Amino acid sequence: MKIYKTKRGIVIEHLNHYFLSKQQDWDSFINRSNLFSRIADEVRSLRGAASMDDLPEIVLAPIGHQEVWASGVTYMRSREARMEESKDAGGGDFYARVYEAERPELFFKAPAHRTVGTGQPVRIRKDSKWNVPEPELTLFICSTGSIEGYTIGNDMSSRDIEGENPLYLPQAKSYDGAAALGPCIYVAESTIASNTKISIAIQRDQELLFSNEISIARMKRKHTELVEYLFREMSFPFGAFLMTGTGIVPPESFTLRSGDEIKISIEHIGVLVNTVA
Ligand code: DO4
Ligand code: MG
């Protein structure tokens, strides 16, 4: 099942049918344990009554009062790219160490007001010259700490700022329009398939500039391990989103420009499309 936050209300997609939920508050709708069975109950009660022909045109980012957090260096490609970009600053060793360490790298990415949904523009910083999107499977975790759903995340990153000094990470990662989430939350009866593929395509002036794909099986850490660290000493009264890190980093010669279209697809979830403002 997929759930969408739309201008018309909360829409549930089940077996290619769309249902407008009777519930109107996004935060209390998503922040429930056993979310799958609760939504399945609601779909049973709605069946026949409130089916819609299609999804409303405007789909919003699937976020209310949740914070967006992110994980780092969870794939070998990310480790290599960070070591390369920070070698002049002598920071390369940190990335090799965190890749092997027991404690993962977790960082605050964005509150809802800096997060955009599908079809909305993402941004690159005016004081940065080297920018990339990071396509990441993103977990939705309810306030009691269980993973209840999955969405697509784009962890927009300024590689020159991050590479200059690892202590600049918050500035490289957090700014207006640096996070995109969407188009829905995929809520399943069990965990997402371990061979789920993530793919990205970046177009400039209708031309494909870069594309790649990776399976989440290549990730070094378990989702539950990341969540366990995130929830160790922090409470999330509305639940939280956690980006799980990127396994795709474009070559060093690549940087985003205004007008580029970034399309990230994750099997079972859908496609997140954003254009650089
Ligand atoms: O350590 C820097 C950020 C890493 C990151 O965002 C990623 O691996 O996806
Ligand atoms: Mg990332």
Could you read off the pLDDT of 194-203 as tens digits, one per residue?
999 999 999 9
The hierarchical CATH code for the domain 67-275 is: 3.90.850.10
Query: Is residue 221 packed enough to be buried (19+ CB in 10 Å), middle (13-18) or exposed (0-12)?
Result: middle
Ligand nearest to the CA of 133: 2
- Segment 221-245 shows an average pLDDT of 98
Give the residues surrounding ligand 1 with Cβ less than 6 Å away: 70, 72-74, 78, 82, 105, 134, 155, 169, 245-246
The arithmetic mean of pLDDT across residues 109-121, rounded, is: 98
| Residue 83, H or E segment | helix 76-85
How far is residue 121's CA from residue 161's CA, in Å, rounded to a whole number?
A: 21
Give me the percent of the chain exceeding a pLDDT of 70: 98
Q: How confident is the model at residue 91 (pLDDT cuts 50, 70, 90)?
A: low
Instruction: Give me the pLDDT at residue 55, please.
Output: 87
pLDDT digits (tens, 9 = 90+) for 164-179: 999 999 999 999 999 9
Predicted local confidence at residue 48, as pLDDT? 65
* CA nearest ligand 1 atom 5, residue: 72
Domain assignments of the chain as residue spans, ordered by start: 2-60, 67-275
Interval 201-210 mean pLDDT: 98
pLDDT surpassing 80 at residue 92: no
